[in-house]
Amino acid sequence: MTPLGEKVRQKLTVDEGELSDWQLDALRKYIGLTRDGKVVFQVERSKLSQRHRILLYAIGKYLAHEAGYASEPYVTVEELANELGLRFTDTGIKCSELWREGLLLPTEKGYRVLLRRAVEIVLAELSEEESEGVIRRSYKDMK
């Protein structure tokens, strides 16, 4: 390998499954995890779009699995609908849209979030909405 190739490997190689500290800190503004693997919203859910609720929940579930809090890294449409208070049919349609966008990956048992891409996109979108005053922090859901 050339010296340039080695520099490229050292400086530009990223692990798709890794998140930076700033990304985890930014996510903490929106979700938290309990030791039994539940995803807890740190903002009023009603202020989040269905898209953002699903993505944040799927991200949280994946991270709960990584932390050893949840047994599975994926979410089912039924779980999303029940946990987020959404209609089953609407949730399935939204998951299909998120799959076509490359943010969720269908598995045999549900959907797994494509972590790095989903985090980058959802944080950018939420940051924009927050700057417009659409999202306000609430501790109602922290219980």
- Is residue 2 in some structural domain? no
**CATH number of the CATH domain containing 127:** 1.10.10.10
Provide the 3-class DSSP secondary structure of residue 59.
Answer: helix
Residue 121 included in any domain: yes
Task: Answer whether 0.85 is exceeded by the pTM.
Answer: no
Tell me if 91 is assigned to some domain. yes
Query: What are the pLDDT digits (tens) for 73-117?
Result: 999 999 999 999 999 999 999 999 999 999 999 999 999 999 999
The predicted-structure confidence for 16-61, as pLDDT tens digits, reads as follows 667 889 999 999 999 999 999 999 999 999 999 999 999 999 999 9
Whether 81 is covered by a domain: the verdict is yes
Q: How many domains does the chain have?
A: 1
How many Å apart are CA 85 and CA 74, to the nearest integer?
18
Is the dihedral angle over the CA atoms 79, 84, 89, 95 positive or is it negative?
negative
What range does the domain containing 118 cover? 18-142
